[in-house]
C-alpha cells in the first residue's frame, strides 16, 4: 500500500464487492434454480433464495442418464469434456510451441510462407466453415472419435502467435550460452525454452482448456455415439425440450457441475496465469 487512506480503501472494497455482486449474480441464480423444483422457476416471482431441493436435484443430475436410464450419465459427459478439453489444450500448446520454435529460431526455405499459412487462421472460428470441415473429418474416418472432436479446433494460430511473442523476448544470450555448452536445438528447446515459458504455458492452458470445454456445435455434429457426448451437449439437450417445461432445476444443477472443472483450472492456475501474462519480458 502506497499510503493509508481508509476511505479510499473502503471505496475500493465497496466498488469491487458491487462489481462482484453484478458479475456473479447470474451464477447465484444458477445455484438458486438448482435448489428448487422444476416448476418453481417458471412461476413469478422467481425465487432469489435457495430452496431445499439441492441434494435431490444433485442426485438426479448425477445418476440419471442423458435421455433416460440407458443414456450416458453426467460423469461420462464430464469425462468426455475433460478429455476433449485436455486434448485441445495440450495438443495446441505442443504443436504451436514446436512451430513457433522453428519460426523464431531457424532460418529455412519457405519460413515466411509457413508463417503466413499459420497466421491467416488466427481468428476464423470453426463454425464459419463447419460443413466443409465436417466433410473432411468424415473423409478421414474421424467421425465419432475424440480426434475428430478436437483436431479441427486445434487448427488455429492463437497459441503459435503467443509463443512466438514469448520466444522473441527471450534474450539471445541464452542461445549463445547454450551453444557454448554444446547443446543442440532440441536440448535448448527442452532445457531452456520450456522452463522459461512455463507461466505462458499455464496461461494458455487456462484459455484453451475453457475454449475446449465450452465447445458445443462441433462435437454435436461430429458424434453420433452418445457415449462421446460432452457436458455442454448434455445441457443443451435438457434445454431443448420443445413444448415441455424445461427442467430448470436439473439443467442448472448440471450447469453447476459443468462449471466446476473450468473454475478449478482457472482458480488453481490464476497465479501462474497472471505471471504468465506479465512476464513476457524476461
Residues 5-44 that bind another protein (CB under 8 A): 5, 8-9, 11-13, 15-17, 19-20, 23-27, 29-30, 33, 38-39, 41-44
Instruction: Tell me how far, at minimum, the Cβ of 196 lies from another protein, in Å.
Output: 14
Distance CA 158, CA 7 (A): 43
Largest CA distance in the chain: 74
Dihedral over Cα of 155, 157, 158, 160: its sign: positive
Q: Is 282 an interacting residue with respect to another protein (CB under 8 A)?
A: no
Nearer to another protein, 54 or 105 (CB): 105
- Map the footprint of another protein across residues 202-261, applying CB under 8 A: 207, 210, 213-214, 216-217, 220-221, 224-226, 232-233, 235-247, 251, 255, 258-259
Contacts to another protein from residues 125-144, by CB under 8 A: 125, 127-144
- Cell digits of residue 57: 436435484
Residue 108: CB atoms within 10 Å: 8
Q: Which of 59, 75, 191, 278 binds another protein (CB under 8 A)?
A: 278
Q: Exposed/middle/buried for 252, CB within 10 Å: 0-12, 13-18, 19+?
A: buried
> How far apart (Å, rounded) are the C-alpha atoms in residues 261 and 177?
41
Task: From residue 167, give the alpha-carbon distance in Å to each of 96, 139, 186.
Answer: 12, 37, 15
How many residues does the structure list for the chain?
282
CB 252 to another protein: min, Å: 9
In the complex, the smallest distance separating the C-beta of residue 194 from another protein, rounded to whole angstroms, is 11
CA distance 114 to 120: 10
Residues 148-187 as x/- pattern, contact with another protein by CB under 8 A = ---xx-xxxx--x----x-xxx--x--xx--x----xxx-
Task: Find the distance separating the first CA and the last CA of the chain, reported in whole Å.
Answer: 26
Query: From the list 55, 121, 191, 282, which residue makes contact with another protein (rule: CB under 8 A)?
Result: 121
Q: How far is the CB of 148 from another protein (least distance, A)?
A: 9
Q: How is residue 125 annotated by DSSP?
A: -
Residue 245 in grid coordinates: 417445461
Say whether residue 115 binds another protein (CB under 8 A).
Answer: yes
How many chain residues are in contact with another protein, going by CB under 8 A? 146
Interface with another protein, residue 194, by CB under 8 A: no
Q: Which is nearer to another protein, 54 or 71 (CB)?
A: 71
d(CA 131, CA 163): 30
As measured in angstroms, the least distance from the Cβ of 208 to another protein is 13
CB of 198 to another protein, least distance (A): 15
Nearer to another protein, 58 or 148 (CB): 148
Dist. CA 193–CA 183, nearest whole Å: 12
For the segment 51-110, give every residue that binds another protein (CB under 8 A): 66-68, 70-71, 91, 94-96, 98-99, 101-109
| C-alpha 213: how far from chain center | 5
| Angle at CA of residue 134, ends 132 and 136, nearest 5° | 75
| Shortest CB 282 distance to another protein, Å | 11
Stretch that binds another protein, among 53-61, 72-80, 124-132 (CB under 8 A): 124-132
Amino acid at each position: 500500500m502506497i499510503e493509508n487512506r481508509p476511505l479510499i480503501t473502503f471505496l475500493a472494497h465497496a466498488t469491487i464487492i458491487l462489481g462482484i455482486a453484478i458479475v456473479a449474480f447470474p451464477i447465484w441464480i444458477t445455484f438458486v434454480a438448482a435448489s428448487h423444483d422444476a416448476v418453481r422457476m417458471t412461476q413469478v416471482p422467481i425465487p432469489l433464495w435457495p430452496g431445499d431441493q439441492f441434494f435431490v436435484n444433485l442426485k438426479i443430475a448425477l445418476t440419471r442418464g442423458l435421455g433416460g436410464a440407458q443414456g450416458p450419465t453426467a460423469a461420462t459427459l464430464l469425462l468426455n469434456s475433460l478429455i476433449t478439453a485436455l486434448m485441445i489444450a495440450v495438443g495446441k500448446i505442443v504443436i504451436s510451441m514446436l512451430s513457433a520454435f522453428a519460426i523464431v529460431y531457424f532460418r529455412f526455405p519457405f519460413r515466411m510462407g509457413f508463417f503466413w499459412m499459420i497466421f491467416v487462421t488466427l481468428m476464423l472460428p470453426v463454425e464459419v466453415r463447419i460443413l466443409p470441415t465436417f466433410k473432411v473429418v468424415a473423409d478421414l474416418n474421424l467421425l465419432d472419435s475424440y480426434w475428430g472432436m478436437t483436431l479441427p479446433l486445434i487448427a488455429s494460430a492463437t497459441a503459435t502467435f503467443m509463443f512466438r511473442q514469448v520466444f522473441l523476448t527471450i534474450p539471445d544470450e541464452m542461445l549463445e550460452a547454450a551453444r557454448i555448452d554444446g547443446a543442440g536445438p532440441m536440448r535448448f528447446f527442452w532445457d531452456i525454452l520450456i522452463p522459461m515459458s512455463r507461466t505462458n504455458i499455464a496461461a494458455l492452458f487456462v484459455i484453451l482448456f475453457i475454449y475446449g470445454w465450452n465447445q458445443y456445435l462441433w462435437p454435436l455434429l461430429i458424434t453420433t455415439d452418445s457415449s462421446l457426448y460432452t457436458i455442454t451437449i448434455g445441457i443443451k439437450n435438457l434445454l431443448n425440450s420443445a413444448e415441455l417445461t424445461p427442467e430448470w432445476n436439473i439443467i442448472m444443477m448440471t450447469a453447476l457441475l459443468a462449471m466446476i472443472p473450468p473454475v478449478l483450472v482457472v482458480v488453481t492456475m490464476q497465479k501462474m496465469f497472471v505471471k504468465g501474462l506479465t512476464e513476457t519480458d524476461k
